[in-house]
Structure 1
Amino acid sequence: MTTSATTETRTAAREEAEGHLRALVGSDDAVLRDDQWSAIEALAVDARRALVVQRTGWGKSAVYFVATLLLRSHGAGPTVIVSPLLALMRNQIAAAERAGIRAVTINSTNIEQWQPINDAINAGEVDVLLVSPERLNNPGFRDEVMPRLAATCGLLVVDEAHCISDWGHDFRPDYRRIRTLLDTLPTGIPVLATTATANARVTDDVAEQLGRDVLVLRGSLDRESLRLGVVRLKTAEMRLAWLADHLAEQPGSGIVYCLTVAATQEVAAYLRDRGHEVAAYSGQTDTTERQALEQALVDGRVKALIATSALGMGFDASLGFVINLGAPQSPVAYYQQVGRAGRGTDDATVVLLPQLEDRDIWAYFASLAFPPEQLVRQTLEVLGDAPGAMSTVALETYVELSRNRLETLLKVLDVDGAVRRVQGGWVATGQPWSYDAERYARVAEARQREQDAMLAYLDSTECRMRFLREQLDDPEAVDCGRCDNCGGLTLSTTVSDAAVAEAGEALSRPGVAIEPRKLWPTALANLGLDLKGKIATGPAAGRAIARLTDLGHGQALRALFRAGAEDGPVPDPLKSALLTVMKDWSRDWDERPVAIVGVESSTRPQLVGDLATGLSRVMQIPIVGRFAIVDPSIEPGRGAANSAQRVAAVQRRYDLMADVPAGPVLLVDDLVVSGWTLTVAGVALREAGASAVLPLTLGTQT
């Protein structure tokens, strides 16, 4: 089919398309909406490129599946769908199979199936191939599989296309490779990009990247089934109690979103103790367990998953509610999360329980923005001087960035042509590259405006759905009549005394494990250190009162360690919590500590000193020395961005000055950030004669 198709051809194509739709949805009277047909016609009849910005549940997947069936029936190659999450892939494959579409996926979890899948593609036995954006720059896939697919595919689909744009709330560097892929497609291969969360700026940016002759279809972003509301409660105890008292009232099954992994575990444990059928879900959840939990939620076998945003884009289920314990950083991200609810139901409840610590968590995520130019130039210089490819692990020893930030930087540089990923790591291309400081600043300013808008949403007395739609530049935004501000939803703010008491008890229960480091970082020889392999004589598992991100004692710890906070003795509430931790922990000791060694601090000497002397007094054991600062030119926290840099900094900054006894030693510090200070100190203590080293701190950052 071509742009010169006749009216009769178009009519016949629509009839055929609606036949495929009926098979897809399992309904004999299903018909395509006009805007759905416009998109399918552009792809399957006119071989154009299209950008579809439509609300969750509108039927974007129906567009590309029906277009696939039309194109395949006329001899086109398979459809390639670039999809961001495994949960989305699983849902899409299940939907495709219901319509008789042969769909497969290539991703990091099914490496053993790659060759059989390639063989099936070559044999014409695959209608749809789903790939993650990260696959696009896997050297083998990029150089061997993708060129063949690009030459033979019948349709390219980019799902969650807002990820292409660094103005989007969930920008992913790997998605930027799609622009390169588009340039390699033969003339006449249609392309579809879809998203539910793109404002005007993101829409324009994505359309520009799609290139020539793009049909842009933007529809109303109203979600007629959603009833939005905000419940403001003063304390973490009251918010947890609200969940315990009101979770059962919510319709069907749903999701309770938290901002951190630690919070999902804490909240899930509390709600289970209160008799609710819930489970924690995050990026740290094992893949097999994730699939089982997702299915349990779909089947209604759990009331809720207590989840991070890892349960996000593309998760498709008929959910009755979404509750956010803490506000996301932007109204756009919030709109996407609440879009998990109300897909297959006429009525779904959406509740936001804002927290005082939300802004602290936003500030942490903001600290992970694009690195300063000096570190980018240093990365390029190191790669340029290297005799061959360098792995990310080796590169860490030269550049003070965390592995995640370094990987993201390398992906951006790869897309920009300055580096290239090859077998064995990364190489510099030698192409000139400029640091676009102005653009990065504008993106940072945009993120700040989004945070301000999120705060405005909390305080708004106007229609909440209209507010979110206006943030997405929806020209049709009107009052919904369904939210709490419109009078369509009434949310109780009452919590029972019993629930508050139990929440307070759960949050005040101190104690998290400090897991010991097992292996030295790779390539420490690059930094002049003869350390590698297993850490044979390191510290044992330790204890801290809480994580800084925890809902209970985390609040007091965040205040204690906030930048600019005055040094001083350990606050009384934390002293009481520490004694409780010690009492519980002592049950696991093979032998009681006989001495204390403190880690010297230049920023909080009073805090660490008071901690050590207080423990000495209570336990009636001596302080026998300190892990002392011997090179103050190595500033506190140097190298904390990655393990190799941190080990090198700790080795230079500190030395053990102590008369170490033969028994177990309690190693005391204020805060665990990377864990390497305690590890290096623990190794030194063991080498000096301690039979065991037991680390104890007030808090841990993660």
Structure 2
Amino acid sequence: MSNEALRTAADAVLARLVGDTTGTAVLREDQWRAIEALVADRRRALVVQRTGWGKSAVYFVATALLRERGGGPTVIVSPLLALMRNQVEAAARAGIHARTINSSNTEEWDGIQAEVAAGAVDVLLVSPERLNNPDFRDNVLPKLAAATGLLVVDEAHCISDWGHDFRPDYRRLRTMLAELPPGVPVLATTATANARVTADVAEQLGTGEGADRALVLRGPLDRESLSLGVLRLPDAAHRLAWLADHLAELPGSGIVYTLTVAAAEEVTAFLRRRGHAVTAYTGKTENADRQQAEEDLLANRVKALVATSALGMGFDKPDLGFVVHLGSPSSPIAYYQQVGRAGRGVEHAEVLLLPGREDEAIWTYFASLAFPPEEQVRRTLDVLAAADRPLSLPALEPLVELRRSRLETMLKVLDVDGAVRRVRGGWTATGRPWTYDAERYAWVARQRAAEQQAMRDYATTTQCRMEFLRRRLDDEAAAPCGRCDNCAGPRFGGEVSPEALESSRGELGRPGVEVEPRRMWPTGMAAVGVDLKGRIPPGDQAAPGRALGRLSDIGWGNRLRPLLAPHAPDGRIPDDVAAAVVTVLADWARGPGGWASGAPDAPARPVGVVTVDSRTRPRLIRSLGEHIAAVGRMPLLGSVEYRAGAADAPVPRSNSAQRLRALDGALEVPPALAAALAGAEGPVLLVDDLTETGWTLAVAARLLRRAGAEGVFPLVLAVQG
């Protein structure tokens, strides 16, 4: 078929895809160039184009043309379920049968794989995590690679650790690329890649010369429909009040992004109480609830989804009218990617950033999850090498000082590097030589710091905001947009109604978070000499407790973070914090299950206060215990203390198993406290400053129960997270 005839056929597929019956739909020139490279020349191509440009049209049109010519199914590696659902529906419009394999449909995998083998599937969408699942990698992936007619890497910036959203599972694609038969075309697409990421991805796609080299098609990143703005408000209460007052004024329906799950839930609850139809969408939202939330937004049944970055890539609603960020992402590239959800099919969309003072603390936390130091990596490799069987993540945790999420990410990187391998039952060391690339990891850390500074600069710049973002993505065509608040003047003021402000202050100032007790010991403790396993006996457990707030909250979190910062000075409990703790206690006592609730099964009222010994904040905790005892008119019975010598040994904050190992045998109930407990007829309040893993409270409660306490109610200032 001539290229002219191929172009005519491609435009016909596009018309079916977009539902055009007039014959006016035609491909953009770069869309055609990419399709021509894939179908006629069987090349590899990287398309870097703004959100809404039509990257998915390239691979659906190419799929239809390749399948008509007898090609195998297209395999799309796609990062998010929302994207997969959108794309299955889009493919069906063009007569393309698409199926997905991901964590939400495990019961369908066997049937889908049989359909693929029978040639009944045109497009198979696979989540990147599947690529390194042992069964999928060893049994499915080789057959899939052999049969694939087109491989698509969507959101391809994830393949590069220079990118803002690097995902180790994506690097498994290097193996699949190497195993593809000659002549199988490959397409990588992204809307968020600067020059460095573009070059890195292009190199991974194809490093040959001439016709074997990957074709890179990079377009201007301006979005003519977006009007960018920044609104700096005094505090979190003003930001919430502003949303309550002005959300209805924003065009259509949209997304309110927050930086944490806790903030998304807080904002959703407040806006609902103020009469707005909003739904939370986070990494903790159940899959069925996520799907319902997406459908409600697509159908404009809600004004907004209040979302974390879980609703980042790929969600397709062309008429999305606004994106508001309650808190600043740490990277201009990540910010551009999220705001790109808006204005894809409308002439005007509002994009507004409301930065907060808690943003930097949240950036710092996420930065702490970077690739670990060499000593911890080597320790993990040594443990795996010495093991006589594969080790699961729970089995590894007692042996290495890394929390599970960071440990898993590190192992995935080591797997791609060839140092470890994921198999049935866990992970094993391969014994291959491995070099810690300290220079590369340090460079990535510097890049993250530079991106954070760029977001500070974005919030304060007096120049064009769209031009600023485009330059950060190395868009050579960047120029003033004429639409943002700096180019055309602010479109929103910071005024809030007294009623909304009072309501938001009440919402954010409402103290109290439930603290769930630990009920199971971590697995694998016997490997480190700790004889604790299984369920914690009810007679050793703490009762459900309370905290004043979470450190990630936009309300009490902002007050507690400076007080509990690692190098904050120790001192007496501030009056406002002490008063709020008393409010928490009063609400707790009168609430469901509280000792003053009047319920038939209500527990006995606490008869005393016990504090937890502190290395860093002894005055704070002591004064908090004294205040609670005085207000509650009960004695301060004493402290659970560290044994001689144990107080100087640091307690790891890495993972549950390591923390429990350090605490086991380190704490004790001194004789004076034991005597006081023996004479106390009732439960006690256990007071500490901060709980992160919950194991200090669990170990202290176990000791107190065994020393005679009838029950233990933990009360802390803050929950980490």
Question: Structures share a fold, TM > 0.5?
Answer: yes
Task: Find the counterpart in structure 1 of residue 586 from structure 2.
Answer: 583
Which is further off, 190-199 or 491-500?
491-500
Q: Provide runs of 4+ in structure 1 moved above 6 Å.
A: none
Task: Find the counterpart in structure 2 of residue 4 from structure 1.
Answer: none
Which is further off, 620-629 or 317-326?
620-629
SS state at 1:310 partner: helix
SS state at 1:678 partner: helix
Per-residue deviation at 1:639?
2.5
Q: d(CA) in 1 for partners of 2:706 and 2:284?
A: 34
Task: Find the counterpart in structure 1 of residue 184 from structure 2.
Answer: 189
**Superposed counterparts of 1:36-185, under 5 Å:** 36-185=31-180
Matched, 1:368 2:361: no
Task: Find the counterpart in structure 1 of residue 687 from structure 2.
Answer: 668
Q: 1:300 to 1:647 in 2, by over 3 A?
A: same
Matched, 1:694 2:703: no
Q: d(CA) in 1 for partners of 2:266 and 2:425?
A: 40
**Superposed counterparts of 1:15-26, under 5 Å:** 15-26=8-19
RMSD over aligned Cα, in angstroms? 1.1
Per-residue deviation at 1:656?
2.2
Q: d(CA) in 1 for partners of 2:485 and 2:413?
A: 42
Per-residue deviation at 1:632?
4.0
What is the aligned counterpart of 2:633 among 620, 624, 639? 620
Matched, 1:405 2:402: no
SS state at 1:559 partner: helix
Alignment-mate amino acid for residue 632 of structure 2: M
Alignment-mate amino acid for residue 74 of structure 1: R
Deviations along 1:130-161, one digit per CA (max 9) or x if unpaired, are 00111000010001111001001100000000
Matched-pair contact (CA < 8 Å) for 1:663–1:691:
yes
Per-residue deviation at 1:530?
1.6
Q: d(CA) in 2 for partners of 1:268 and 1:576?
A: 27
Matched, 1:386 2:381: no
Alignment-mate amino acid for residue 707 of structure 2: A
Gap regions ≥5 residues in structure 2: 596-602
**Superposed counterparts of 1:230-629, under 5 Å:** 230-317=230-317, 318-487=319-488, 489-537=490-538, 538-587=541-590, 588-589=594-595, 590-629=603-642
Task: Find the counterpart in structure 1 of residue 600 from structure 2.
Answer: none
Q: d(CA) in 2 for partners of 1:33 and 1:115?
A: 39
Q: d(CA) in 2 for partners of 1:644 and 1:678?
A: 14
Matched, 1:683 2:683: no
Q: d(CA) in 2 for partners of 1:195 and 1:258?
A: 23
Alignment-mate amino acid for residue 401 of structure 2: E
Q: d(CA) in 2 for partners of 1:655 and 1:41?
A: 73
Give the structure-2-normalised TM-score.
0.95
Per-residue deviation at 1:641?
1.1
Q: 1:229 to 1:348 in 2, by over 3 A?
A: same
Q: d(CA) in 1 for partners of 2:291 and 2:311?
A: 11
SS state at 1:486 partner: helix
Q: 1:635 to 1:144 in 2, by over 3 A?
A: farther
Matched-pair contact (CA < 8 Å) for 1:599–1:667:
yes
SS state at 1:350 partner: strand
Matched-pair contact (CA < 8 Å) for 2:229–2:465:
yes
Deviations along 1:38-97, one digit per CA (max 9) or x if unpaired, are 000000110000000000000000000000000000000000000001111111111111
Deviations along 1:157-204, one digit per CA (max 9) or x if unpaired, are 000000011110000011111111101111000000000000000000
SS state at 1:668 partner: strand
Per-residue deviation at 1:637?
5.9
Q: d(CA) in 2 for partners of 1:634 and 1:407?
A: 31
SS state at 2:325 partner: strand
Q: d(CA) in 2 for partners of 1:356 and 1:536?
A: 43
Q: d(CA) in 2 for partners of 1:635 and 1:219?
A: 58
Alignment-mate amino acid for residue 231 of structure 2: V
Per-residue deviation at 1:489?
5.0
Matched-pair contact (CA < 8 Å) for 2:615–2:647:
no
Matched, 1:649 2:662: yes
Deviations along 1:274-293, one digit per CA (max 9) or x if unpaired, are 11111111100111101001
Q: 1:270 to 1:343 in 2, by over 3 A?
A: same
Task: Find the counterpart in structure 2 of residue 13 from structure 1.
Answer: 6
Gap regions ≥5 residues in structure 1: 1-7
Matched-pair contact (CA < 8 Å) for 1:227–1:489:
no
Give the structure-1-normalised TM-score.
0.98
Q: d(CA) in 2 for partners of 1:25 and 1:265?
A: 36
Q: d(CA) in 2 for partners of 1:459 and 1:595?
A: 52
Matched-pair contact (CA < 8 Å) for 2:102–2:126:
yes
Per-residue deviation at 1:109?
1.4
Q: 1:100 to 1:498 in 2, by over 3 A?
A: same
Per-residue deviation at 1:563?
2.3
Per-residue deviation at 1:490?
1.5
Q: d(CA) in 2 for partners of 1:296 and 1:652?
A: 53
Per-residue deviation at 1:235?
1.2
Q: d(CA) in 2 for partners of 1:423 and 1:408?
A: 18
SS state at 1:39 partner: helix
Task: Find the counterpart in structure 2 of residue 638 from structure 1.
Answer: 651
Deviations along 1:633-691, one digit per CA (max 9) or x if unpaired, are 56576222111111111113212222223411111111111111101111222222222
Q: d(CA) in 1 for partners of 2:391 and 2:665?
A: 25
Q: d(CA) in 2 for partners of 1:477 and 1:488?
A: 20
SS state at 2:638 partner: strand
Matched-pair contact (CA < 8 Å) for 1:481–1:488:
no
SS state at 1:625 partner: strand
Q: d(CA) in 1 for partners of 2:644 and 2:19?
A: 72
Per-residue deviation at 1:571?
0.5
Which is further off, 651-660 or 668-677?
651-660
Alignment-mate amino acid for residue 191 of structure 1: V
Alignment-mate amino acid for residue 592 of structure 1: R
Q: d(CA) in 1 for partners of 2:390 and 2:648?
A: 32
Per-residue deviation at 1:415?
0.3
Which is further off, 310-319 or 485-494?
485-494
Per-residue deviation at 1:33?
1.0
Q: d(CA) in 2 for partners of 1:382 and 1:224?
A: 55
Alignment-mate amino acid for residue 294 of structure 1: E
SS state at 1:652 partner: coil
Matched-pair contact (CA < 8 Å) for 1:602–1:636:
no
